[in-house]
Amino acid sequence: MKSFDYVRPASVAEALSAIAEGAGALFALGVTVALRPLKKIPGEIPPLAFVKLVLHPAFLFVLLSLFGPFDQVWIDTALLMAALPPALNVFVFARQYDSWVEQASSAVLIGTLLSVVTLTTVMWMVKTQHLPALLFR
């Protein structure tokens, strides 16, 4: 009879505890960014958000088409990852180095709000298969 490895309840509990701690830290960072006063949107934020949320996925799609062919699942996954909003680590590094803190928190906040439209659009295009497999054949 073969013996199978099994997951011990203690290791599952440890994994869930680590996930819970990470989720709590992300929640605290999100609240910190959301509660920062947004006096005015810095002028560089709209172009940066456009580059991150629109040009980055479009450029990636062109590159994937040039270097492909790839399975559609990999193209869809890469596009969804590229369409994600700016990460909180931008704000963490800005605070750590005490540089560009207001702009970083604005970029994360505005980028996250705008990604409701852009990420939803990319998800819809992926789900309904409105993306061609390759641009160049």
**Three-state SS sequence of 8-63:** CHHHHHHHHHHHHHHHHHHHHHHHHHHHCCCCCCCCCHHHHHHHHHHHHHHHHHHH
pLDDT at 1 over 90: no
Write down the H helix ranges in 51-98: 56-67, 72-82, 89-96
Better pLDDT: 24 or 81: 81
pLDDT at 85 over 70: yes
Q: What is the pLDDT of residues 97-134, one digit of tens each?
A: 988 888 888 888 888 889 999 999 999 998 998 877 66
Four-residue CA torsion sign, 92, 93, 97, 102: negative
Please enumerate in sequence order all residues whose Cβ is within 8 A of that of 29, keeping only pairs 6 or more positions apart, or say none. Answer: 88, 91, 92
